[in-house]
Structure 1
Amino acid sequence: MRTAYQDQLEDLTNQLGAMCELAGAAMERATQALLQADLVLAEQVISDQDVLGEHSARTEEAAFVLLALQAPVARDLRSVVSAIQMVADIDRMGALAVHVAKIARRRHPVHALPEEVNGYFSEMGRVAVELGRTAQEVLLTGDIDKAARIRAEDDAMDDLHRHLFNVLMDREWKHGVASAVDVALLSRFYERFADHAVEIGRRVIFMATGELPEYEELPPETWRD
């Protein structure tokens, strides 16, 4: 029975890892759609959201079954409860990629981004995808040192987010209000994606040590459809 229980815990971790992979791939494709004004790719990101949603539902159900039938304690309890919380984080990562794709779709066939900010978003996309991959790795390996480093790696995204706001506030901005709103929203979507990756790292540390790093808590989610 104990072996079967541990197998269920391992399966739960693997499901979370698979969800992270899907969310990272969605943001990678969404970034390509945004930079290339690729309608087909944007539509793919939007339609694939259902796949991540199905994974979320199955993973959450598996976690609740473990709680109900196995009554885990100590580290196992932390793992199951953290898994439920991480399902929500990863689901939001996928949803944020969809938000990016929807802006690309709405502006098609025009590029949603002025050319002068393309470099910022290319880098934000790269950082977001890398953070997603790191979150997946720490989930699967339980590497708490690498989990702690996610917070530092997120600083690059925060810097890009701040720089973009400086660009928007510059008197030389000549692309109008609608474009400025798109850029501000998109920047926020990438920054939030990174924040959720940081939160996954916190949960991995909590699962292993019983202590939750005192990072700034994510505020209530406001970027919903």
Structure 2
Amino acid sequence: MAIEMQLHLVSISRVEELVAMPWVEVLLSMEKTHLRNIRPAIDSELLRGFDIDNEAEILDWADKQKLSDTTTVFQTIHNSWENGIITLKEACEGLLHFIKWASIGYWKALEGRAYLYLEPLMNVDSLSIQDLYEDEIWQQVRKELPSIVEKEYCEKVVLAWMKMRKEMNETLDEKSDPRILSTMQSHMRLSGQLHHLVSRWLEDDDLRLIIGGEHISFENWTFGNVPFHQIITHGLP
């Protein structure tokens, strides 16, 4: 089964503002769509869920957990976990919904293809699947990628893909495989999006990287280099 990994860029100032608001006030405001004016502007080059969908995720999670507290969003989630009302996994899931609300957008790619986007920047032969979810790797990408212009980087990714297919004795003939052109275009698009995401991350001190994926437990998504389970216990980094 194909598994996707995700990189989200979130506004730390908006995260801090949101989770410091009273729990009940946030839920009521989201029901009335009154918080959309403080949500970060979407980056049109990246992916992001619709406002109504992100609000529904938060409200559905809150309704399912039936939490009631007069403190802030973060303290409500933390206290509910600490008092055994919800599990650590449930607490991390809820926090992730709120943090995603403060995202300007995200990039996603299949795990099996993600190495292609790293190959122009580092030795991928020594990398494991788990390494793709390590902040250290993406800090290295953040350091190396801006030295390559976007067009050149995209071309390097496509060349890495072509090399991989040749090594696997797979055809590059469009007549033999009609998906060749669309796959190449997909790599061009995804590498361009990744270059853009890293450029935004580098130029804006307010943006933080969240790393996760479909099969990554909510506790092990990371905010910067801090896993969510540590955020629940110790607070935002």
Same fold by TM-score greater than 0.5: no
Name which structure has the greater RCO, CA cutoff 8 Å, separation 6+. Answer: 2
Structure number with the higher helix fraction is: 1
TM-score by length of structure 1 reads: 0.32
Structure number with the higher strand fraction is: 2
TM-score by length of structure 2 reads: 0.31
